[in-house]
Amino acid sequence: MSNTQETGINRPLWAPWRIEYIRGKKEPGCFLCRMFAESRDRENLILHRGRTCAVLMNRYPYISGHLMVAPYRHLADPEGLTDEERLELYDLTALTIKVLRDVMSPQGFNIGMNLGEAAGAGLKDHLHQHIVPRWVGDTNFMPVLGGPRVMPETLDATYDLLATRFPRQEIC
């Protein structure tokens, strides 16, 4: 038996919800700007709205609890943030870490931004910060580069778990 067979790398992992995205019509423009302009927060996976930024779930997460903080204003680089936006981006990142610690008990976090296409930004024109909870032995870096990932919980279940833990009012 080859090493590939032993590790199960060739075993299929089913993700039927992805076909809607793959085959679906892609709307022009920025999907974050469109979601922020709407009032369908649960459907858009928006957990909290502040004055200048929001916390939302990543629709195609690396792991359960993969959240993002993004300014409402459409800009690609942190140099363009106002002082108020920069402060709220940080404050909401800190709040998100607290909520994830309280609800999901991760043992660590990966936090960062992918700026530009060369850095792996799937959405390169609207700045957003990733907050990814991590557990010892959960995965390694290879799935990020294109390997399989197993999600133990649906997005709706994760949303319901987290949504009540964010304040309904602005924090800044």
Specify whether 128 is catalytic: yes
152: tokens are: 């133990």
Q: Where are the alpha helices (DSSP H) in the chain?
A: 3-7, 18-23, 31-37, 83-104, 142-145, 155-163
Q: Please enumerate in sequence order all residues whose Cβ is within 8 A of that of 80, keeping only pairs 6 or more positions apart, or say none.
A: 127
- Given the residues 48, 126, 128, 130, select the one marked as catalytic: 128
**Residues with catalytic roles:** 128
